[in-house]
Amino acid sequence: MQTASTPTHCPYCALQCGMTLSPLPKGGVEVVERPDFPVNRGALCGKGRTAAAVLSSRVRLTSPLVRSGGSLVPATWEEALDRIAGELGRVRDAHGADALGVFGGGGLTNEKAYTLGKFARVVLGTSQIDYNGRFCMSSAAAAGVRAFGLDRGLPFPLEDVPRTGCVILVGSNLAETMPPSLRFFSELRENGGTLIVIDPRRTKTAEQADLHLAPRPGTDLALALGLLHLIVAEGRVDEEYVRERTVGWEEARAAAMAHWPEYVERITGVSVPQLRETVRLFCEPEAAMVLTARGPEQQAKGTDTVGAWINLCLATGRAGRPLSGYGCLTGQGNGQGGREHGQKADQLPGYRKLDDPAARAHVAGVWGVDPDSLPGPGRSAYELLDALGTDLRALLLMGSNPVVSAPHAAHVEKRIGSLDFLAVCDVVLSETAALADVVLPVTQWAEETGTTTSLEGRVLLRRQAVTAPDGVRSDLEVLHELAARLGVEKGFPVEPEEVFEELRRASAGGVADYSGITYRRLAEENGVFWPCPARDDEPAPGTPRLFLDRFATPDGRARFVPVSHRPNAEEPDDDYPVLLTTGRVVAQYQSGAQTRRVDELNAAAPGPFVELHPRLAARLGAAEGDRVAVVSRRGRAVAPARITTGIRPDTVFMPFHWPGEGRANTLTNPALDPTSRMPEFKSCAVRLELAE
């Protein structure tokens, strides 16, 4: 039994809110406020307050399971590990290393993400590894690297938000997805600043805004270009900044000038007066910010869409200056660190590129292997899932539930079912784990120590507060045991701090340099911002604010990238006349695998729904609560109608947390962004029917 309180961080979103776990008299722990952490200052959403409920053995896995006679039955750890290692080895021997796939999760700690990437490349020798963070902010990451030479969710801390003059919030419903962060935007307005929210729905966040723009889904790119056109036409370009700190302006300017206001109004549905008012509110203060989230990013043109908003910041001198900049509101708890250290198909630890010979040599040196033995880049997340059961015959999956969370989910479920072998490591028996040949019960946030990296680029220490139930082991132990069974006896430690010390060496000199960060520092401080290169003489300071002196490009200048509007990958037609967009609700998280096991959260959000405008409901003949079928070219989902004037009449909305007949991702389009390989979750053509 625990006898002392433990300061730690929430297991859910990328705010990584500070909390304390305090022991209860009859066993277990409760979540209490932790006011000293600057991001949430003690505030917690319902998910954070109830996070300890998932620690209960009543809702989580406590024994390995193996498939026997068509059913999953309890097994010993030795039986389960032997089966996994035997099947992975058999498939590799018969079909080659790239017949093995590895799929990770944005909730894994840095230590686990790092070790999983190393395991795939050193033990299995496969290039086929990616993670569900590809579905989170990959478009923003690609656009940030293209423009600034570096991707970090926010290049400044959230505490800067209340002190800027204007924030344009694009495609983010913070009031429901990250409720404790909303206070920064409330303080912005209290200080005389302006909040502009861009969203097809009048969300709880939009209700807090000074100005709400409701564009048609998938037209954020045209909207940003129209605003930049007006900035040029009204003489609001910061010519000195553009000349001294950027390159490529003339080409980007020419592309924007093809998007005149009336043309943009026709595309987006946002009126010209609203466009002009947005420009005025954004340009008049001395400082301003643009923050994007999944709305503009989860599109088949997401990289260019984010790039257009970055161009807007660059043209007005709103990047690399105090209290100004572009940032991405990362969604998953460790979506940032998860890709920095090796889960992503094309990256090595430290945000190094896998096809860079110098990067390969450095990381191979830390790992003690020949650089030539490391495989090259593999498939992106959806492409990997789409290949299951073809040349990709076996999959090791950790901390993800693609049966609910992937686009074209019914197809992905079939592909998973066609595998020769599937092994899943998870806390609960998710919908994906239920299809596995072997399921391993692994420790979760409060049962283990490890680091995560928040949306600010703040590296944090999550401390172990409780002992895991009997029968549960850590992911690090799993990878250690599998590596040994597959012939690699050394290099896979089970202690998180030992792994982190190796991660420090592997990241040293990389873009995401953690070499100056230690567990001791993290235990004493409220996180350390990367990059944080090690110093011989004193502790490295970390970098809360990026780009103030120069951008992370070879010449120190930011890059304008010329972009132009293009339609959605799938536009409405006579057969599918309405646009579907998807998102989250406040009481559930991602695929719901954990939050759907918490009674309080289920009471607040018991199931899916279809949100539609009264005019659309009238044409359909639907009343509040009627069962409505939403049909796309990929499938059919059914859920109760929720009728509201807070959505465009040409658009419907579904949350994506639930499996079964209300699974929103049965409908979504897997069309991929050519750069980021992000699927087009946020827009697809559908028709509506009254369900029987």
pLDDT one-digit tens code per residue, 66-121: 999 999 999 999 999 999 999 999 999 999 999 999 999 999 999 999 999 999 99
Are β-strands 438-441 and 65-68 bridged in parallel, bridged antiparallel, or unpaired? antiparallel
Q: CA of 80: how far to CAs of 64, 101, 308, 372, 401, in Å? A: 6, 18, 50, 32, 20
The predicted-structure confidence for 487-540, as pLDDT tens digits, reads as follows 999 999 999 999 999 999 999 999 999 999 999 999 999 999 999 999 887 788
Q: Please spell the DSSP secondary structure of 644-680, one letter per residue.
A: -TTB-TTEEEEE----GGG-GGGT-EEEE-TTT--EE
| Number of neighbours of residue 254 by Cβ within 10 angstroms | 12
Q: Please spell the DSSP secondary structure of 597-654, one letter per residue.
A: G-HHHHHHS-S--EEE-HHHHHHHT--TT-EEEEEETTEEEEEEEEE-TTB-TTEEEE
Place of tokens 């559930």: 588
Q: What is the mean pLDDT of residues 365-374?
A: 98
Q: CA of 26: how far to CAs of 2, 4, 146, 690, in Å? A: 11, 14, 54, 50
Report whether 298 contacts 381 (CB < 8 A). Answer: no
| pLDDT band (50, 70, 90) for residue 2 | low
Measured N-to-C along each axis, helices 110-118 and 475-485 cross at an angle, to the nearest 10 degrees, of 10
Domains and CATH numbers, the chain: 6-55 (2.20.25), 138-328 (3.40.228.10), 578-690 (2.40.40.20)
The predicted-structure confidence for 292-323, as pLDDT tens digits, reads as follows 999 999 999 999 999 999 999 999 999 999 99
| pLDDT band (50, 70, 90) for residue 37 | very high
Gyration radius of the chain's alpha carbons: 24
Q: What is the mean pLDDT of residues 398-425?
A: 97
Taken in order 110, 115, 120, 122, the sign of the CA dihedral is: positive
| pLDDT band (50, 70, 90) for residue 213 | very high
| pLDDT band (50, 70, 90) for residue 611 | very high
Report whether 685 contacts 632 (CB < 8 A). Answer: yes
Considering all CA atoms of the chain, what is the largest pairwise distance in Å, rounded to the nearest integer?
73
Report whether 511 contacts 352 (CB < 8 A). Answer: yes
Could you give the CA distance from residue 186 to residue 413 in angstroms, rounded to a whole number? Answer: 42
pLDDT number for residue 537: 77
Tell me the two tokens of residue 661.
């007949």
Burial label, 302 (beta-carbon count in 10 A; 0-12, 13-18, 19+): buried
Indicate the helix (H) or strand (E) that contains 506.
helix 496-507
Could you give the CA distance from residue 658 to residue 400 in angstroms, rounded to a whole number? Answer: 14
Are β-strands 100-104 and 394-398 bridged in parallel, bridged antiparallel, or unpaired? parallel
